[in-house]
Chains A and B, each alone.
Chain A
Amino acid sequence: MVARIVSTRTDAEVSLADTFGSAKATLPGNAVVKEMRETAFGAFAAHGLPHRRIEAWHYTDLRSMMREALPLAPLPDVRALEAVRVELAAAILPAGPRLLIVDGTYVPTLSDALPEGATVRSLADVLAEGRADLIDKLAAAKFAVGDSIVALNAALMQDGVVIEVAPGAVIAEPIHIVYATAAQTPVARFFRSLVVVGAGAKILVTESSLGAGGRVGQTFGALIFDVADRAEVGHTCMMTKTEPGSLRLDTFIAELGADVTFSSFALVHGEGLMRRQLFLRCVGDNTKAALNGVSLLKGRDHADTTLDVEHIGLGCEGRETFRYILDDSATGVFQGRIRVAPGAQKTDGKMMSRALLLSDDVVMNNKPELEIFADDVACGHGATCGGLNEDQLFYMQARGISRAEAESLLLEAFASELADNIGHEGLTAAFRAEVADWLAARTVKG
């Protein structure tokens, strides 16, 4: 019998293998890291791009949606960096040091020094140096087990930042990780960053993007928080300014010690295909963690937020609150899994997603899940989908407010209700401005 070998790999998978083959010799890292990359790519290759039969990717079938894999972004050249410098100078960001990541590469010459108590190094340096504890945290082996996109990021990570915050340090102003693009042709960027927060330290980290200037690209990012006891950590991510036809896949990982206060807020309103997958482990006792997000989608945008929250410590509180506004033919995905380990008694977990559907052609997929292995816990979830409330609209119109303005007021209220969770005035204002821009564009169109 003659076995017929059929390649079932997609074009994108084939080019990713080529990319890894030709880049692995030059990607940063010592021998241990190179071995890790090989293993990671092996894991990716074994499964290929995730598809609808992979539960966590059921509503975002990357294998069919990602038609091609773009070439790896080159190191930005001097001219490109100058363009980014100009763009950065014009950008309006709240005060605080900026760390620039251009096409996946950390650029110290465009970045600020961090205040006392915090240090930053490039991921490339850390991988080359090979300090075991940092490599361990970067590998985040306990998280996202079996996720081939996280494996792909581990195999191809070009650069990123490694921030270390000393125990007890209080960093008053937010540390901004700013993503910029420089390549003149469509490229793929892979970056991974790590924030190690010492016991009792206090910081706020933001992620935002500079305008991409009309270039299509693929972005595979990962940000890992390792938070020691009693620390207070805030995080915001503005997943904005992606271009139509582009792809952005972000993985967010956080491991929290005891008595930690952790809060993360994301705004998703780029264009194209966007996915944020968040993995959170509350390992210590009495930690409070809140994950919040608002997605504003129109056109044919597809935005997926997938959570995996694991409670291991005693008496932790988890609050996951996500909102979506969907217009035109946009698709929203919310998947949230709360896992309570045996022994994680007194866990208090609440997950909620609410979606406002503004057109008949939108799709919202909600999938909350609870897996509870402890008996003394209070966990719940809820999901709602619906249109704007007609009684509220009529009440406002009866006071003279036009239908369009009434809709805008209600949409703004819906999107902004979570803004109090940001916990920083400047960042809240920046968020509100983004929401207002999105609504203004909607009104003009309507």
Chain B
Amino acid sequence: MLEVKNLTVSIGDRKILDGLNLTVKDGEVAAIMGPNGTGKSTLSYVIAGKPDYTVESGEVLLDGENILEMGADERAAKGVFLAFQYPVEIPGVATMTFLKAALNAQRRQRGEDEMTTPAFAKKVREAAELLGIKNEILKRPLNVGFSGGEKKRMDILQMALLEPAMAILDETDSGLDIDAIRIVAEGVNKLRTGKRSFLLITHYQRLLNYIVPDTVHVMAQGKIVRTGGKELALELEKNGYRDFVTATAAE
């Protein structure tokens, strides 16, 4: 379970998150929708442990434990996963090498044995096939020269391999065509098992046709301004964010 309590975050002297509260229960798929520039990516980075931000106040609890003091790698080993809005290119590091380093690093942190190369290669190939990722891509440096869609799928592949407890998907649908959205959604839906929770950050309602959320939160100006069921997404699609933006601005 993820609990974000009264989280206020700034960059430099600019406040981006402003007393944000959010709970994602075990097994829950929650969606956050909101206009551009409202702090959605900031929230996902702060949960994942990006160091550029100043947490002014508040807590982020994973299964009751405050993770804000932990390094990003430690949080990942505890089950936090972020599919980046803009996955990063890593020249010179082969995708396979990277995936293996990530998986084994997490296993070591959890005190588990490292995975052998053949077992690992098999696991990657199977997961890649489900996501329509070509074998040839796995030999290339990570994300270098990948299309936007390939990068997003590569992040979902990593999620499938790392089997996180709390997966945050930041605008994974942006830049994907409808077929790619369907493939990615299938990948996510397959992982909707047991206690695994998801936080889907999206700008459009479209993705939520394929990954049906349990809850939908509306975010505006650094905080959650409304929470509802999946029907809230349809309402937003129809009316846009205008009501929320002006409502909070007037406060």
Which A residues are within 8 Å of any B CB, using their own CB? 390-392, 394-403, 405, 409-410, 412-414, 416-417
Contact = CB atoms under 8 A, between A and B. Distances in A.
B158 A395 contact: no
Interface of B: 48-51, 71-73, 75-77, 81-82, 84, 87-93, 97-98, 101-103, 105-106, 109, 141, 158, 162
Contacts of B50: 394, 398
Contact of A396 (B90, B92, B109, B141): B90
Given A394-B50, A395-B84, A409-B101, A400 B73 contact: yes
Contacts of B103: 400
Nearest to A416: B92
B102 A400 contact: yes
A230 to B, nearest CB: 34
Most interface-central of B102, B106, B109, B158 (chain A CB within 10 A): B102
Nearest to A419: B92
B48 A398 contact: yes
Nearest to A404: B73
Contacts of A409: 90, 93, 97-98, 101
A398 B78 CA distance: 11
Given A399-B162, A405-B105, A394 B72 contact: yes
A390 B48 CA distance: 15
Majority SS of interface residues in chain A?
helix
Contacts of B76: 397-400
Contacts of A397: 49, 71-73, 76
Contacts of A398: 48-50, 72-73, 75-76, 81-82, 84
A414 B90 CA distance: 10
A401 B51 contact: no
A395 B93 contact: no
A45 to B, nearest CB: 48
A223 B88 CA distance: 43
A396 to B, nearest CB: 7
Given A395-B88, A395-B90, A410-B90, A400 B77 contact: yes
Contacts of B162: 399-400
A400 B92 contact: no
Contacts of B109: 400
Nearest to B73: A397
Contact of A401 (B88, B92, B101): B101
A417 B51 CA distance: 28
Contact of B92 (A391, A395, A405, A417): A417
Contacts of B101: 396, 401, 405, 409
Contact of A391 (B81, B88, B98): B88
B91 A396 contact: no
A412 B94 CA distance: 11
Contacts of B98: 396, 399, 409
A403 B92 contact: no
B87 A395 contact: yes
Nearest to A395: B88
Contacts of A400: 73, 76-77, 102-103, 105-106, 109, 162
A395 B86 CA distance: 10
Contacts of B97: 409
B109 to A, nearest CB: 6
B51 to A, nearest CB: 7
Contacts of B48: 398
Given A399-B98, A399-B158, A402-B73, 5 more contacts: A396-B98, A399-B73, A399-B76, A400-B77, A400-B103
